[in-house]
Structures are given as structure tokens and as C-alpha cells.
Amino acid sequence: MNSDLLDLDAKALLAAATEAERASRLAEVTKLELLSAWAAIHSTDPTEGPDGHIARRVGNILRQVGGEGTPGVQDFCLGEIALARGAGVTATQNMLADVLDLEHRLPLIWAVTRRGECEVWVARKVAKLARHLPADRVHVVDTAVSRMIASEAPGRVLEVAEAKVIEADPDLHDERCEAERRRRYLGLGRTDEYGLRTLIAKLEAGDAVAVDATVHRVAEIIEPLHPDASPDELRAIAFGWLARPAELFTLLLEHAESEAEPELDLDLDDTEPSTPARAYAFPADLLEALRGIDLTPLAPKAVLHVHLHEAALRGTDGVARVEGFGPVTLAQLTELLRGSVVKVQPVKDLSDRVRYTAYEHPESLRDQVHLVTGGDYWPWATSTSRTVDLDHPIPYEHTGHGDTGREPPPEQTGSHNSGPLGRRHHRWKTHAGYTSRQCGEGRYVWLTPHGLGFLVDHTGTRPIHPEKARMIIGAPVGVDIYPA
């Protein structure tokens, strides 16, 4: 704690709190204005002029990230400003879209925001809500919200904003509602620090009722096994049974009532189904036949990559990191695999260096690079997906092509010169003036077009001096330089 603050009385502390809040808002405004200025100096169309065909071919086009009426911005400029902010490209692009909308579509709200009189995140939220509106209709939102954003609670402001968005173009709202009704999805959130995950689904109303009824029935069956569980916790446990069809099928068969075949309750407003769903209503003759079926093939199959320290082999307690799930204890891992068919693959020694002469990365190399890097090696990238491109940090020399008649230099592809990149990051690295160099397993140095240097390794991303980055990237091929 700042000891000087303890010298202030209550009135002075209240005044300081007010001023600190305003200063924080103005700092957020400054960040938005910096993004706007960066967009302004990159707002010319790179596809125009004598070299425009090159810009168009490599993808450096003028993109409109904001709503109708906002200026475009060159695609290649987004990566470097994101790195300078120490943020992801998507978050930076969203922030840029918000400020362009505020400046060019919602000027009244922007004026209040620039004075530090409202929460910046509320103004950005309104900009996002109104982004789909035509330029000649968005003023309805701007006028109404600007009058209250400095004096009403955020919840109230957003309620009015949502209403004004509908009022601004009712026909467009109806079209969007109809389009939304045609969208069905199942979304999976990130695993939290407790090994829990959120699953959200939008599906047909009848199917939703059937799923809910099945969960309700499973919860009834397993309730004696979880006497201390709350109703919500019990339903969550029951929902987990849907992930294990063989066990679920067996459970429902063992507790099925063959003398009756109840019908599905289609009361869509009833959150507690009064009768079992069609999902577990079995005729008597079918029940007998099903009980004789081998349900083993229905058990889920798991592909599990486990990173082990040698201490774990000696019985020391450890933590397993599971791709797509996160860190878990060994007890959680056992529960995760319960009922699954587990096939043990050979242990991979990630210290082995694998080298190839061909340009393409074989699957064995892809697997090793992913396990070492853990995902996209672009600075501050968040993706841990395997569906990425594999890049050669030192560009591959295709000297065997053309009139040279020579074979490419050997061993250009391998664990010593491979890094996973998302498609957009790969395109920028190839065409937008970014350079990189691998300097060890899972360790990469970057230099941006305007001379920002970064080191990416297993500890994350951190800035390094540009001259150091240039020295490492410019070192002769075959010389490994390890930055401190």
C-alpha cells in the first residue's frame, strides 16, 4: 500500500478515488485514440497504384473492421500494433472496430467518453450492439444513449441501447431474429482452474426438452450415490453421463420400467418434466434384446498426451496437462478416463532432433513440434490448436527449382526450424515484413517491420532489445544463438 494514502482523511480519500477513476477512464480513451491514429496512417488502399496487384495477391487489402461508414484499415498493420500493446490480434481488432464506430458513427457518445464521464467499456459495448445498423439509422442510438450514459447505471444504459437498436431499424431486427432462429450450435468454454468447463447449446426445442428429461431421470437414479450434492450439482453430474453412452445406456436399461411406455412431455415452458422422455422409453421386447448387446464399442476413445517429469516416474505427486482440457491432478485424470478405451502409444522423447530435406512437414514432426511449443508461436498468441500451419522460421530455400538444376540444401525442415502459426499470422510473417529465428526447442525470436523485438518460449512472450533480435535473426544458418 502507498503509505502516503494513509495520511489522507476520509474526505480526501473519497476525492482521490473519484480522480483515480476518471484518470483510469481517460487512460482507456488514450488507448483507443492511439489505435485510431494507427489506423489513420494505414488507411490508404494498398491495392491501388502500380504495385497494387502484389498487395492484393498477398492479402494486404483495405479491410473495414468497423460498421458502415467507418474508414478501412490495411490488414497487415493490425499485427504490429497488437504486439506493441502486448495483446492478441483479435482483441486489438475488436478494440479498433469500437473506436472507429464511436468516432464516425456515435460522435455524441464518443464526446462524453472522451471527457471521462462514463465507463469506456459501456461505450464500446453500445458500439458493438449497434455495429450492424446502417449508417443513416445509427444516430437513433447515439442520441438516446449519449443523454444518459454519464448518469445511469451500465445495466440501464445497455437496456436502452438494445431497445434503440431495435427501434432504429425494426425490419432489420426481424431479419436478424429469423436468421438467429436458424442457428444452432454447441459451444465449449475453457477449462477453469478447478477442472470444470461450461457447455452451452442452442438446439430444437423438442430435443432440448428430451435432453433435459433424460438428465432429470439420470439424476433421480444416481441421487442415492451423491447424498450431499445440491440439486444443481446433481443435474450437472447426471449431464456428464451423456458423455459415456455405454454407461448411460446400461444405467437406463437397469432402471427402465418395462410395463409402461410413457410419452414425452412437450410442455416447452415446464422446466421440470412430469414424465420420462422418449430418450429412455423402451418397449418390453426391446429391453430384453438390448440387455444382451455388448456395449463395449460405445465406450469413448481417448487420445491423451501427457508431459512427464522424471520425478513423476519415482512416485512423486504431479500434475498432468491434458490438451483441450488443461492441468489436472492424477485423481482427476483417472476420473476423466473412466470408462474410456485407452490405447497407450509409445513415449516420445522430445529432446530428439528430427531433420528432413523436403519442404513438407511429416505428421511425426508436426506432433513433436506441437508438443514442444504448445501452440501458435506468434508473440502473445492464445491458440493451442493443432489445426495450424507449420512455418519455417528460416525460410525454406527452393534452390532445386528453376534453371539452377541444384537440389535444395539438406535438412531445412525439422524440429530445429519449425514453428506452428495460425493462417493469418503465417501470412503476415511471409508477406508483411516480420522475421523470426528459432534458437532452441520451442524458443523463437521475432523482429517486426518497425523494429520491435520479442522472445517467445515456454515461459511466454517478453520484449527484447531490437539490436539483440537483429543479431540473432541475422546469424549464419547453422549457428545457434540462445538469447538470455
Residue-wise over 80-106: b if at least 16 C-beta within 10 A, else e?
A: bbbbebeebbeebbebbbbbbbbbbbb
Distance CA 371, CA 310 (A): 17
With beta carbons less than 8 A apart as the criterion, state whether 214 and 264 touch: no
* Residue 127, CA distances (Å) to 28, 32, 131, 156, 313 in order: 15, 13, 6, 16, 54
- Within 10 angstroms of residue 387's Cβ, the number of other Cβ atoms is 8
- Within 10 angstroms of residue 307's Cβ, the number of other Cβ atoms is 15
* Residue 64, CA distances (Å) to 34, 101, 109, 208, 266 in order: 18, 11, 21, 38, 46
The reported pLDDT for the residue numbered 275 is 45
- Within 10 angstroms of residue 212's Cβ, the number of other Cβ atoms is 19
Residue-wise over 272-299: b if at least 16 C-beta within 10 A, else e?
A: ebeebbbbbbbeeeeeeeeeeeeeeeee
Sheet with 453-457, side-by-side order of all strands: 435-438, 444-447, 453-457, 460-464
In the chain, the amino acid numbered 83 is: L
SS (H, E, C) the chain: CCHHHHHCCHHHHHHHHHHHHHHHHHHHHHHHHHHHHHHHCCCCCCCCCCCHHHHHHHCCCEECCCCCCCCCEECCHHHHHHHHHCCCHHHHHHHHHHHHHHHHCCHHHHHHHHCCCCCHHHHHHHHHHCCCCCCCCCHHHHHHHHCCCCCCCHHHHHHHHHHHHHHHCHHHHHHHHHHHHCCCEEEECCCCCCCCCCEEEECCHHHHHHHHHHHHHHHHHHHHHCCCCCHHHHHHHHHHHHHCHHHHHHHHHHCCCCCCCCCCCCCCCCCCCCCCCHHHCCCHHHHHHHHCCCCHHHCCEECCCCCCCHHHHHCCCCEEEECCCEEEEHHHHHHHCCCCEECCCCCCCCCCCCEECCCCCCHHHHHHHHHHHCCCCCCCCCCCCCCCEEECCCCCCCCCCCCCCCCCCCCCEECCCCEEECHHHHHHHHHCCCEEEECCCCCEEEECCCCCEEEEECCEEEEECHHHHHHHHCCCCCCCCCCC
Q: Which residues contact 313 (CB under 8 A, 6 or more apart)?
A: none
φ/ψ of 273, rounded to 5, equals -60, 135
- From 145, 173, 177, select the one nearest 160 (Cα to Cα): 145
* Residue 188, CA distances (Å) to 87, 196, 199, 200, 239 in order: 23, 11, 5, 7, 14
* Residue 455, CA distances (Å) to 386, 446, 458 in order: 22, 6, 10
Cell numbers linked to 426: 503465417
Residues 410-464: tens digit of each pLDDT:
778 888 888 899 999 999 999 999 999 998 888 999 999 999 999 998 888 999 9
The reported pLDDT for the residue numbered 369 is 83
pTM of the model: 0.69
The reported pLDDT for the residue numbered 272 is 47
Q: Which residues contact 456 (CB under 8 A, 6 or more apart)?
A: 377, 378, 379, 443, 444, 445, 446
Per-residue pLDDT of the chain (484 residues; tens, 9 = 90+): 677 888 888 899 989 999 999 999 999 999 999 999 999 999 999 888 887 888 888 888 899 999 999 999 999 999 999 999 999 899 999 999 999 999 999 999 999 999 999 999 999 999 999 999 999 999 999 999 999 999 999 998 999 999 899 989 888 888 887 777 777 778 888 778 777 888 888 877 667 877 888 888 899 899 999 999 999 999 999 998 888 877 887 788 777 654 344 444 444 444 444 444 444 455 556 556 666 677 666 655 666 666 655 665 566 666 666 666 666 666 667 766 766 666 666 666 666 666 777 777 777 788 888 878 878 999 988 888 888 888 888 888 876 554 455 676 777 888 888 889 999 999 999 999 999 999 888 899 999 999 999 999 888 899 999 999 999 998 887 666 666 5
φ/ψ of 318, rounded to 5, equals -145, 180
